[in-house]
Amino acid sequence: MKKFSSDHLLSNTLKNIGYQLASSAIQIIMLSLVARIFGPEGNGQYGLAMLLPLLLTTILNLGISPANIYFINSQQLSLSEAWKSTLKLYIILSISGLCIGYSIITYTEVIFSGVPKNLLYLSLLVFPISLLNSFISGFFQATKNFKTLNQITFITPVMTFSFFFSLSGLRFERYQMAYPFRFYLHTHHFSFCL
């Protein structure tokens, strides 16, 4: 494990804040493009469709990343032990979350009324990737690999924005709202490969 002085801590914190601000700015631009291309109704459908996987990720991450950071840094667990446990939990939580999400989409009409079910099912595929992303980021924090953590945090919205922007000149129909979800899925997958 690397030892950090207060100068390194300040430097890493400022870099992290910079990456987060840049990432947020790109995501705001992306949302503006979605709103402009799909209009108010399509933008609302996009927002509602993304709500389910992001809510599942928030609830089902169960604080595993902060726990990994603590246990790895206090040397109560080795990196490989933490990874094995996290991977097992990830598989269980992913399957559970997909089943919960599928049940919510299939059996409740009130929550997502007006949003095409195909779009909701497609958006549900974002959940396992987002969950894995939250778990992996904890390992980069625990090993103090902030450079890689910041790059992964930054590259996903940049790639999503780039792919979406490259196709934004095309005329989209309502059924083509799935494109932002596909971009989101592909860019998350690609960022893990890096």
CA distance 54 to 133: 12
Please report the pLDDT score of residue 96 as a whole number: 96
C-alpha–C-alpha distance, residues 144 and 170, integer Å: 42
Residue 97 domain flag: yes
The per-residue pLDDT for range 93-134, each reduced to its tens digit, is 999 999 999 998 888 877 777 777 877 888 888 788 888 888
Check pLDDT > 80 for residue 73.
yes
Q: What percent of the chain has pLDDT over 70?
A: 75
How many other C-beta atoms are found inside a 10 Å radius of the C-beta of residue 16? 15
Is 103 inside a domain boundary?
yes
State the total domains in the chain: 1
Q: Which of 105, 94, 32, 83 is nearest to 61 (CA)?
A: 94
Query: CA torsion angle for 153, 158, 161, 165 (degrees, to 10)?
Result: -170
Q: Is 1 a domain residue?
A: no
Task: Give this prediction's pTM.
Answer: 0.71
Q: Is residue 113 part of a domain?
A: yes
Residue 20 lies in a domain: yes
Largest CA distance in the chain: 55
Tell me the residue range of the domain where 37 lies.
Answer: 6-193
- Residue listed under structure tokens 């503006």: 32
- Identify whether 157 is part of a domain: yes
Residue 142 lies inside a defined structural domain of this protein: yes
Q: How far apart are CA 108 and CA 130, in angstroms?
A: 23
CB-based contact 130:153 (threshold 8 Å)? no
Buried b (16+ CB within 10 A) or exposed e, 72-111: beeeebeeeebbeebeebbeebbeebbebbeebbeeeeee
